[in-house]
Amino acid sequence: MISAGTVTVDLGTKQVLLVFNKRQGVYQLPKGRKDIGEDLLACAVRETLEETGVHVTPLALKVATRATVARGEENDEKREKEKPRGKVDGRGDGHVEDGIPGEGLTVERYNHEAAACCQYMDLETKAMKMIFYYAATGDSRAEPRALQGPDEGLFENVWSSVDEAAERLTFKEDGQIVKKVLADMRRSGYDI
């Protein structure tokens, strides 16, 4: 089962969007199954909206990756406009802060690649689930869209401070994902 979700941060209030799954009694990140033919990033944004009612915008990050830049994107001007304001390490030599070795990594380009992923067994179906997570931003003060369909009444939105969000999540892996994405956001110049 392939799924996607977001680590959504309100950059103004410095809070992370979590959901409380009432049926399972767990705090988790918004995520869900990919539709046939759907792009993973589109899935992550759609599933976040379906589970939370919150409209989110993907954030470009400098995610350390061994992936190379696709042909035709070397001079992508759009990427320059997506850069956040703030201190960004622009060394361009594969260096990553926080002691992570970076030799041979692409780190200097803002991108919308998955920032993290995990795999575990789905509690209900017992199927193995691979979940790709993307950084996003949303407004914690905006009124969320009413949930409809199978998600109606199932989830409760919980905005948690960036300092407490990882510890509030039920599953250790979700907490690790939040910590990793927040670290990537800080390295990318976001003030959180």
3-state percent breakdown (helix, strand, coil) of the chain, nearest 5: 20, 25, 50
Prediction pTM value: 0.81
Per the CB < 8 A criterion, the answer to whether 107 and 95 are in contact is yes
**52-61 pLDDT, tens digit each:** 999 999 999 9
pLDDT of residue 46: 97
What's the mean pLDDT in 15-26? 95
Q: What angle do CA 42, 135, 170 make, to 5 degrees?
A: 105
**156-182 pLDDT, tens digit each:** 999 999 999 999 999 999 999 999 999
Task: Please tell me the distance from the alpha carbon of residue 114 to that of residue 184, in angstroms, as a whole number.
Answer: 11
CATH class in words for 2-61+112-187: alpha beta
What's the mean pLDDT in 82-92? 40
What percent of the chain clears pLDDT 70, i.e. is strictly above it?
Answer: 79
Among the ranges 109-113, 121-125, 147-151, which has the highest mean pLDDT value? Answer: 109-113
Does the structure show a pLDDT above 70 at 118? yes
Which residue in 57, 58, 7 sits closest to 30, CA to CA?
Answer: 7
What's the mean pLDDT in 176-192? 95
Per the CB < 8 A criterion, the answer to whether 48 and 54 are in contact is yes
pLDDT of residue 107: 65
Task: Please tell me the distance from the alpha carbon of residue 72 to that of residue 116, in angstroms, as a whole number.
Answer: 25
Alpha-carbon separation of residue 98 from 40, 134, 150, 183, 192 (angstroms): 28, 21, 42, 9, 16
- Within 10 angstroms of residue 129's Cβ, the number of other Cβ atoms is 16
All structural domains of the chain with their residue ranges:
2-61+112-187
